[in-house]
Amino acid sequence: MIDRDILLKALAVKANRHAELGRMLEDPAVVVDHNKVRVISREMGGLRDFAKIHGEIVDVRKGLADAREMLALGDPDMTELANAEIKTLEPRLEELWPQAEAILADKDELGDRGVILEIRGGVGGDEAAIFAGDLFDMYSHFCANHKLKVEVLDQSPSEMGGFKEIVAQVTGHEAYNLLRLEGGVHRVQRVPKTETQGRIHTSTATVAVLPEAEEVDIDIDWDKDVREDKMRAGGPGGQKVNKTESAVRMTHLPTGIVVKCQDEKSQHKNRARAESILRSYLLEYKQAKVDAERASFRKEQVGGGDRSEKIRTYNFPQDRVTDHRAQETVHGIVRVMDGELDPLLDRLIAKDREKKLQRMAEEGGGGSAPPASK
């Protein structure tokens, strides 16, 4: 178990932020801004569990301190009462520490947000695009199993099947928490549909999982920093070819980030979707810079979208899927491709928890709080 002083300090930071947000909601200038109220309320909801268990631990520790003070007085009548109180509170405190550890390790402040899911074919030509399509189907089934809604925002189909690139929005309860560890390079080993001599090929596809950004998360000067280009939507032909300039491409000039949206016939809808995607990309960019500054000692990132790392291999001839971060292999590849990812994710979440707690210990928790009773 991680040092309890560190646990309490980390909880105090979250609880203080929860209290700060509560005070913000009492500000008349904030109350009239419905968008700010919605964003603040959502963040408060994400911090509620942290604040609740922090309050419980603080209350129990205070009760123990008071009971021990009564014991020190030496009053026979008070001694019996104090011992009974200590007998009740000490086991309760021992129950709260592992609960606090689990909440700190498992809950993500962005966990209940929607997701921008981006899948691209990597190394392997046509087979990589086909595999990107298979991954999109896998995540679609997984999301359906968890009652999440998937809506395609943009796609570049491949002539042989699958997608060169596909971008989708995933919404629903705990969407980001469920998918946040899926970012990285996925590798497939199988005989491709395009192979005529039965040889096994290795191909890759990249997956990026970005939490949806709110307007208040990122400050964008749309007139100065963003160039917008209008164009005709592309496609393989037939009804997909758009004869009007409904597709929208946005370039964020300070960072060079480019997003494109063409899946809607309405330019207005494509613009709104492109703005949403761009905000999410910029939020990821901002978070990556903060993480690099605050945690430069980390040489690897578990499930954070590092695309240079091969995170999982899908081996069809051997009917197995191996997650290299969790060092876990499961058999029954058809079930996995049908969206049964939970056995792999359970192990991966446990591994991610260990990494987070280790990082917390190395960083010292942050914030300030009184020393914890052991």
**Cβ neighbours for 143, distance < 8 A, ≥ 6 positions apart:** 149, 150, 170, 172, 175, 339
Angle between helices 342-363 and 4-24 (to 10 degrees): 100
Distance CA 139, CA 175 (A): 12
Task: Report all structural domains of the chain as residue ranges with CATH numbers, in order of start.
Answer: 4-107 (1.20.58), 115-216+300-354 (3.30.70.1660), 222-294 (3.30.160.20)
Phi-psi category of residue 238: left, alpha or beta, with phi > 0 → left and psi -120 to 50 → alpha: left
Distance CA 2, CA 97 (A): 9
Instruction: Detail the DSSP E strand segments found in the chain.
Output: 115-121, 149-157, 163-171, 184-190, 201-211, 226-231, 247-252, 257-261, 310-315, 320-323, 328-331
Q: If you count them, how many residues does the chain have?
A: 374
Q: What is the pLDDT tens value at each position of the chain, 374 positions in all? A: 667 888 888 899 889 999 999 999 999 988 898 888 888 887 888 889 999 999 999 999 999 999 999 988 888 888 989 999 999 999 999 999 989 988 887 766 666 788 999 999 999 889 999 999 999 999 999 999 999 999 998 889 998 899 999 999 999 988 998 998 999 999 999 998 777 777 899 999 999 998 887 665 677 888 888 998 887 665 544 444 445 567 888 999 888 888 888 766 677 888 888 888 888 888 878 777 655 544 443 333 333 333 346 899 999 999 999 999 888 999 999 999 999 999 999 888 888 877 777 776 666 554 433 334 44
- Percent helix, strand and coil across the chain, each rounded to 5? 50, 20, 30
pTM of the prediction? 0.66
Distance CA 77, CA 71 (A): 10
Task: Specify the DSSP class assigned to residue 124.
Answer: T
Distance CA 46, CA 113 (A): 10
AA letter at 339:
G
Q: Which two tokens stand for residue 8?
A: 């309490």
